[in-house]
């Protein structure tokens, strides 16, 4: 065989080998979660990552929802969690994202250290610390106040200047008397001061106010193009997230240590709070009525917060 033919065969073999090795290299794929209580249901993914042919899947924690929103807006994120209103607003801007599932429903507590306040109507003239201006707790509470004949910002002052950990300390030390807090912060406050009581079940009050069913707090979102082009990988991720949520709910004591390790919440506190936290896995199709009920509250008080209209049909992953 001539040297020319040998060289040609070696080149062809090299190209084939390079292509074969390249095909064997898995594609990196990140599932994004959030630091804090909204990411608790996904915590098992860190030690038990989803497995999908052709992908190397890892889980990464982001500090807050604004960073997550930026990653979806830029097209970087393919799967991650967001507050329901943030997901709707991104979709309204023209970015083709879809809700795949609801991972957390209502887990709010209206707390008071004043024994004279026994019901929501007793808040007239009071100031309530609210965790999350312009987010789900804010508009859920505004809807409830309105149905009780109380005008938000007039009959009841809503203060948004303190983050949840600060509100907890203010309640415990008696510097504030009323607060609307999600779990696990409500459990932290009640554990720190025996005089702090739950005034009303916000989830039940939401249903009485026309919500229909418990309101979503956290949604799992996917890039629509990724969902279409990589259905098997997405299904592997969704199955892993569902398994993680179910494990957390069934094993609150065991879930505490990994939550502390990866998400920065104290194990003992989160283990106590999980039974009150309503971590769920509800598919987008099932969750749509509850999401639309929540979105109507956003439209009632701040239409811009979800883009001015209800999300379209293609917002919900089929």
What does the pLDDT look like over 216-260, one tens digit per residue?
Answer: 999 999 999 999 999 999 999 999 999 999 999 999 999 999 999
Pairing mode, strands 197-201 and 108-112: antiparallel
Quickly list H helices, 181-283. Answer: 185-192, 202-206, 224-229, 231-250, 252-263, 267-273
User: Which of the 8 DSSP states describes residue 251?
Assistant: -
Nearest alpha carbon to residue 101 among 286, 225, 311: 286
Nearest alpha carbon to residue 222 among 40, 91, 43: 91
Which uninterrupted H or E stretch holds 25? Answer: none
Confidence of residue 19 (pLDDT cuts 50, 70, 90): very low
pLDDT given for residue 201 in this prediction: 87
Confidence of residue 24 (pLDDT cuts 50, 70, 90): low
Of the chain, the percentage scoring pLDDT greater than 70 comes to 92
Residue-wise pLDDT tens digits, 275-295: 999 999 999 999 999 999 999
Nearest alpha carbon to residue 196 among 180, 175, 183, 178: 178
Tokens standing for 205? 């009050």
Which uninterrupted H or E stretch holds 128? Answer: strand 127-130
d(CA 291, CA 268): 32
Q: Is 218 helix (H, G, I), strand (E, B) or coil?
A: strand
Which uninterrupted H or E stretch holds 111? Answer: strand 108-112
- The predicted model scores a pTM of 0.89
Q: What is the mean pLDDT of residues 197-215?
A: 92
d(CA 257, CA 266): 8
Q: Which residue has the tokens 């795949």?
A: 100
d(CA 220, CA 214): 17
């Amino acid at each position: 065989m001539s040297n020319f033919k040998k060289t040609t065969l070696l080149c062809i073999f090299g190209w084939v080998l390079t292509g074969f090795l390249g095909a064997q290299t898995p594609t990196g794929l990140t599932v994004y979660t959030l630091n804090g209580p909204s990411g608790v249901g996904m915590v098992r993914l860190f030690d038990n990552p989803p497995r999908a042919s052709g992908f190397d899947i890892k889980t990464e924690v982001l500090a807050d929802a604004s960073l997550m929103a930026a990653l979806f807006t830029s097209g970087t994120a393919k799967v991650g969690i967001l507050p329901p209103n943030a997901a709707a607003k991104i979709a309204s801007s023209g970015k083709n994202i879809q809700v795949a599932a609801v991972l957390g429903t209502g887990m709010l507590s209206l707390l008071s250290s004043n024994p004279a306040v026994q019901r929501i109507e007793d808040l007239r003239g009071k100031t309530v610390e609210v965790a999350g201006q312009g987010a789900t707790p804010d508009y859920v509470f505004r809807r409830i106040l309105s149905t009780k004949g109380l005008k938000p910002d007039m009959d009841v002052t809503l203060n948004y200047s303190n983050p949840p950990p600060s509100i907890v300390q203010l309640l415990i030390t008696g510097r504030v008397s009323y607060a609307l807090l999600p779990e696990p912060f409500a459990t932290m406050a009640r554990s720190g001061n025996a005089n702090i009581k739950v005034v009303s079940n916000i989830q039940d009050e939401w249903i009485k106010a026309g919500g229909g069913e418990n309101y979503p707090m956290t949604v799992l979102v996917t890039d629509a193009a990724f969902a279409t082009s990589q259905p098997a990988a997405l299904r592997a991720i969704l199955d892993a997230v569902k398994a993680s949520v179910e494990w957390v709910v069934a094993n609150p004591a065991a879930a505490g240590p990994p939550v502390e390790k990866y998400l920065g919440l104290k194990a003992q506190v989160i283990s106590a709070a999980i039974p009150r936290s309503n971590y769920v896995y509800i598919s987008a199709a099932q969750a749509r009525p509850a999401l639309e009920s929540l979105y109507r509250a956003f439209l009632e008080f701040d239409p811009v917060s979800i883009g001015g209209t209800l999300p379209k049909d293609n917002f919900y992953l089929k």
